[in-house]
Amino acid sequence: MGLIEDARNVAREFELSSEDVNKGVKEFIRQMDEGLQETGKSMSQIPTYVTAVPNGTEKGVYLAVDLGGTNFRVCSIKLNGDTTFSLTQSKVAIPRELMVAKTSQELFAFLAKQIGSFLKTHHNDHFEEYHQRRNAGEPLADEHFFQLGFTFSFPVHQIGINKGYLIRWTKGFDIADAIGKDVCGLLQAEIDALHLPVKVAALVNDTVGTLMARSYTSPGKTGTLLGAIFGTGTNGAYVEKLHKVTKLKKMEKQGGYDDSTGNMIINTEWGSFDNQMSVLPNTPYDDALDQESNNPGIQMFEKRVSGMFLGEVLRRAILGMMKDGKTKLFKDESSGTKDSNSTCTITDDSPLYKQWGIDTSFLSTAHEDQSQGYRITRQALSKNLGVDAASSEDAEAIKIIVEAIGKRSARLSAVAIGAVIIATGNLRLTAGDAMDDRQKPVLEAEVVDIGVDGSLVEYYPGFEQYVREALREIEEIGAKGEKRVRIGIAKDGSGVGAALIALVAGGREKE
């Protein structure tokens, strides 16, 4: 058997059939419903207490801050009321000593100080007017305060729109006395200590922010159904009917929320879909990756979809072929088509031999390579992976496996998107509507709007096309339903999205 056929055999291990996709959708919907009824399930289905999405007509100036890692970002967003906005921002590194401070007050005082500096620089007139009124003892109303959305990218137990208790620190932070405290309250206390005209209106998840940002900027009047991240990680947040979120009544310390819309945005945390592996595909490469990860048995959907893991799946598949004595990958007898008569060699410190050694950008390069003799892939093998003088057949074999891994990721992504569309009843197809009828124009009222963000969906070659192909194969969607799905990039969920959540949370009147 030749090398190319060997590669095709490996690629077949990653195939996800139409039957697999449809089974996945049904199980995804079941786990969504389960998560709405009880806590502690595979799919967390976290209530966000955000009960409305914007429609693009909102106006005003709102603040957003983002503590997502080693940097702290402060933004002001001016909403123009016509689906457009302007953004002003500053970013500062968190001093290492504050990441492990003795008290949370030290960190949050630093954050509040950055907000104050930002206001003095970019909104000084408002800042000075507020202080003049305050010093004169004049009454202060809501309009004298900026509403702020706080994106806090650490595990929290959220019990209200602007209340959430820190569960644990990650990303190098370790401040023991913050555990179990309300992070919005901690920030508000330090803002108040500096007498800043700011109210922490909302605790924000960046995936929910993606949904909000897309709903404000999307064309037409159709509200966005789903905000989804397909990048380093993957997650989705969608608009659910409030009466279906039955676990809300059972949750302790539950905060108040506006129930007049009849809706609530749910943060699915779908990276953990099917941790029990009842329908998710599995290969020896997936299995080995999971066993050697820092969270075995957890985030099983994410480990097959997101950019953080695709390179590692590929690395393990390549190593499997190299260790197979019958396979001729990177062995000179595999092909005579080289740039010269040099011998294929792999450096001892090649990233092929290191966990997480292959970046997803390599998959993008190989996937879209149409160069003669796969010259671009061979160059990438040499430059990025220490594989020198690989043959064109070697490169073609790698490309075949890459395409299979990338396509599986996109088709699994379609399982999540399709399940949300079906579970929420947003297509409302009648019998026979799922049949092919692509010539008929889609009316704006029929559009199902999806906002997406992340490196995979934005940059990976053919990702959206693969998603749409799989959507057409879903029984309840079909070609006609897929045509009604509008997918658009939604940037900056932690900036404009957070500001929009602050707007909804603050209940500010539209101007």
The two most distant CA atoms of the chain are separated, in Å, by 87
Contacts for 75 with CB less than 8 Å, ≥ 6 apart: 63, 64, 65, 66, 87, 88, 89, 495, 496, 498, 499
**How many CB atoms neighbour CB 170 within 10 A?**
11
Asked whether the CA dihedral 371, 376, 379, 385 is positive or negative, the reply is negative
- Set 18, 153, 350, 361: catalytic member: 153
What tokens appear for 196 in the block? 């800043």
Distance of alpha carbon 263 from alpha carbon 252, whole angstroms: 20
Phi-psi region of 479 (alpha: psi -120 to 50; beta: other; left: phi over 0): alpha
- CA 104 to chain CA centroid, nearest Å: 28
Contact 413, 24 (CB under 8 A): no
Contact 476, 188 (CB under 8 A): no
- Set 86, 134, 142, 168: catalytic member: 168
Contact 281, 304 (CB under 8 A): yes
Distance of alpha carbon 3 from alpha carbon 381, whole angstroms: 17
Q: Degrees (nearest 5) of the Cα angle 64, 69, 75?
A: 20
- CA 45 to chain CA centroid, nearest Å: 15
Contact 212, 238 (CB under 8 A): no
Reported as half-sphere exposure (CB side, CA atoms, 13 A), residue 508 has a value of 27
For this structure, is 258 an active site residue? no
Reported as half-sphere exposure (CB side, CA atoms, 13 A), residue 35 has a value of 23
Contact 188, 199 (CB under 8 A): yes
Q: Which helix (H) or strand (E) holds 270?
A: none
Asked whether the CA dihedral 193, 197, 200, 201 is positive or negative, the reply is positive
For this structure, is 408 an active site residue? no
For this structure, is 168 an active site residue? yes
User: Which sequence positions are flagged as catalytic?
Assistant: 153, 168, 206
